[in-house]
Chain A
Amino acid sequence: MHSPQPHLDSSAGDDWPSELYRVLKAADVRQMSYVPDAGHSQLIRLFSADRDVTTNVLTTEEEGVAIAAGAWLGGQRSVLLMQSSGVGNCINMLSLSAIGRFPLLMLVTMRGEWAEFNPWQVPMSRATQPSLEAIGMKVMRAETPEDLIETVESAAALAYESDQQIAVLIGQRLIGKKKW
């Protein structure tokens, strides 16, 4: 499901993952959990090197939904990183965030929607936004680095200050084409 993606032809010239890291640190995020995606690799490296943030690598994405709820019970803010194929794994666990009104911020890199080579990524790509909305998540989307930073800033405020459950979808066009 999570195929390696070592060579990225990034169309975004600027360093948006570092900017994203800065925004999440400013929002006082203290826990980060992830199932890897190449599009998140730099953000994962930045968080993993940060001794003030506890980082958890997951076997499946819904674990991160539960960790985020536990972190909040204990007074910490958590962010969850995944690719779009992982959204399907989360659906029932998202009941926890919805019914407990637990703040949740998910950053989802999209596959299967822009110059995708692997057709197996397409069905879940198509289902990502509708299934998140069906379980009650607010979905926001960014297609450019500038838009992404502003969107995540606003999503973090909505999640942690207003107890909302937010997924930010990061367009595959922004992440860049995978070279095979």
Chain B
Amino acid sequence: MPVSSQLDRRAAVAALLKHRKDTLVVSGLGSPTYDLHAAGDRDDNFYLWGAMGGAALIGLGLAQAQPEKRALVLTGDGEQLMGLGGIATIGVARPRNLDIVVIDNQHFGETGMQASHTGRGVDLTAIAAACGFAATGTARTIAEVERLAAQLSEPADGPRLFVIKVLAENPPRSLPSRDAVFIKNRFRALLGFAAA
């Protein structure tokens, strides 16, 4: 068994997004949504509070609709495990502007820190590689996250999936609006689409 990561998730997400520029970000339910909000509320953030297993696919639809922009899905290991089939769908779709970053604490943090599959040998990066992703990798230190952030700003030949192994703990919650219509309209307005 590898030594569990000591990386603080909020520090990792802050470092990851430090140079995000105009990247569109979708966050999976639970801690990744709080992490994204804690890094700074923005109109080009779309926060999920449900739809477990759907974050990466929302990213796919978004990336396909906005081919000139980059889309980043920030999600958790439990959320991505529920959408494993979506990794195959994204591998086949092969968008060049979609990145998935799994903030992996190897636990279901929102429901009492039950151990998830990723601490028991299931490797999401290997699954993504087998599905034809253009690049995959795992970061375990803040220096590795900083290198990953630099890599994300470079163009890609296809979808990329990275795992950031973090310490299994719940930092104080940082809660964005739970009004999905508001968040949706705010996001679309930034891209030039008026609310009906």
Contacts A65-B54, A66-B51; is A73 near B61 (CB within 8 Å)? yes
**Range of interface residues on A (Cβ < 8 Å):** 35 or more
Q: How far is the CA of A67 from the CA of B95 in the complex (A)?
A: 13
Q: Does A15 have its Cβ within 8 Å of any Cβ on chain B?
A: no
A62-B54, A67-B57 known; A74 vs B180 contact (CB < 8 Å): no
A99-B50 contact given A75-B192, A161-B196, CB 8 Å threshold = yes
State the main secondary structure of chain B at its contact with A: helix
Cβ contact within 8 Å between A31 and B65: yes
Decide yes or no: A75 and B89 within 8 Å by CB, A62-B53, A66-B51 being known contacts. Answer: no
Other-chain contact of B93, A56, A69, A95, A100 (Cβ < 8 Å) = A56
1/0 per position for A159-171, CB-CB distance to B under 8 A? 0011100000000
Query: Are A76 and B64 also in contact (CB < 8 A) when A62-B53, A66-B57, A96-B50 are?
Result: yes
Q: Would you call B193 and A75 a contact (CB within 8 A)?
A: yes
Interface residues of A in 56-87 (CB under 8 A from B): 56-60, 62-76, 78
Knowing A59-B86, A96-B50, A161-B196, the reply to whether A68 touches B61 (Cβ < 8 A) is: yes
1/0 per residue, CB under 8 A from A, across B32-68: the answer is 0000000000000010101111110111111111100
Residue of A whose beta carbon sits closest to that of B55: A66
A73-B46, A100-B181 known; 17 new pairs, CB 8 Å cut-off, are: A54-B64, A56-B92, A59-B88, A60-B85, A66-B86, A67-B58, A70-B62, A70-B65, A72-B65, A75-B66, A95-B50, A95-B51, A96-B58, A96-B180, A99-B181, A100-B180, A101-B181
Interfacial residues, chain B to chain A (CB-CB below 8 A): 24, 26, 46, 48, 50-55, 57-66, 83, 85-86, 88-89, 92-93, 180-181, 183-184, 187-188, 191-193, 196
Binding site for B on A (CB under 8 A): 30-31, 54, 56-60, 62-76, 78, 92-93, 95-96, 99-102, 161-163
